[in-house]
Homo-oligomer: A and B are copies of this chain.
Amino acid sequence: MQKRPGGRSARVRDAVRQATLAELAEHGYDGLTVENVAIRSGVHKTSVYRRWGNAEGLIADALELARGEPWPVPDTGSFREDLREIVRSVQREFADPATGPVASAFVTAAALSAAAAQSLHGFFATRHDQAAVVVRRAVERGELPADTDVTDVIRMAVAPVYYRLFITHEPVTARDAERAADAAAAAARAGVI
């Protein structure tokens, strides 16, 4: 299917995506249906089925669009502050009632669907690359060893936030986020990442 940017196809895609996100926010992955997305978006049900197939297809496309969105990388001049800001932004995203339920629904969808897991995998590959810019800068400034695994520094920094949210079901404070960032920064400086 030919997709002209800004054309009818792009408008339909955006409407379906917005409806998908709104449905996820309200009902979670378990409540996501092609029917409800069709009603909410005003796009005919048969069109949604033809183009997106099912709930997994809707999730995959919403993640594909999220992946392509601009994602501002902090540049405070301090590696520690940059890393803290990245982890705090993750913590804030989940704490925000406007974005948290949708982000959580993506994680749940991936636990239940291999296709959604594949989409989420791709989404995080992009985010890791984008966030790793702050680590690469620190390497270039000579603050970190040249052989630092820049994306693994990002994984180590954000992992404790996700661990509390989705594994142990513990609260996550801004202080927890900062501490996780500081731990990853210290480990990177020690040359173990």
Choose among B118, B162, B166, B168 the residue that contacts A169 (Cβ–Cβ < 8 A). Answer: B118
Choose among B108, B160, B170 the residue that contacts A111 (Cβ–Cβ < 8 A). Answer: B108
Binds B, one of A9-17, A139-147, A182-190: A182-190
Chain B min CB distance to A44 (Å): 30
- The A contact surface, by secondary structure, is helix
Copies of the protein in its oligomer:
2
In the complex, chain B residues whose CB is within 8 Å of the CB of A118: 169
Docked-complex contact B193 and A179, CB < 8 angstroms = yes
Binds B, one of A32-40, A70-78, A151-159: A151-159
Q: How far is the CA of A193 from the CA of B182 in the complex (A)?
A: 8
A189 nearest in chain B by CB position: B190
Knowing A108-B111, A112-B108, the reply to whether A156 touches B168 (Cβ < 8 A) is: no
Besides the contacts A124-B168, A162-B166, A162-B167, what 11 more A-B pairs have beta carbons closer than 8 Å? Answer: A108-B111, A125-B168, A155-B160, A155-B168, A156-B160, A162-B162, A162-B163, A163-B163, A179-B193, A183-B184, A183-B192
